[in-house]
Amino acid sequence: MSVPLWQPAYVGLGSNLDDPAAHLRRALDELARIANTRLVARSRLYRTPPLGPPDQPDYVNAVAGLLTLQEPEALLDLLNEVEARHGRERTGTKWGPRTLDLDLLLYGDRELSTERLVLPHPGAHERCFVLVPLAEIAPDVRIPGRGRVATLAQACAAGSIIALD
């Protein structure tokens, strides 16, 4: 019988409604309480412009580093439960305003493409609101097929990202 191994996983957090910083701080606390998972790193909070429609408030973003025994899709289910507790509704405009968005960015060096989950997260390698906080907590992590996080973050136009704490 094989013993499950702890896997590193990185989660992107974002919010732009109803006190976004408070949503992210609470969500980080909730990530620390996921079964068979440990919150081992958290970036600062960052204010960022919206990726989607421009007629919405700026976002607050962060990245959390986890060690987990959960499989990727099971972890995704647990992240969706955290979102739901924050009033997240998965209807409306793509990249529109939301109380909480949790994206599973990386799960070890796993590459996966299912109907529900793509790893690494598509676009993570080119989004400054992901790369800057990820580089803060895990600069040497590699995004499979894309390169080292710190190198990718240096290529960002990060001037529009403002650290909040």
Beta strands in the chain (DSSP E): 7-15, 37-42, 46-48, 59-68, 101-107, 112-113, 118-119, 142-143, 147-148, 162-163
Short-list 39, 42, 144, 51, CA closest to 97: 51
Alpha helices in the chain (DSSP H): 20-31, 72-85, 128-137, 149-154
Contact 13, 72 (CB under 8 A): no
Cis peptide before 120 (omega within 30 of 0): yes
Give the active site residues: 88, 98, 101, 103
Instruction: Report the C-alpha gap between 1 and 8 in whole angstroms.
Output: 22
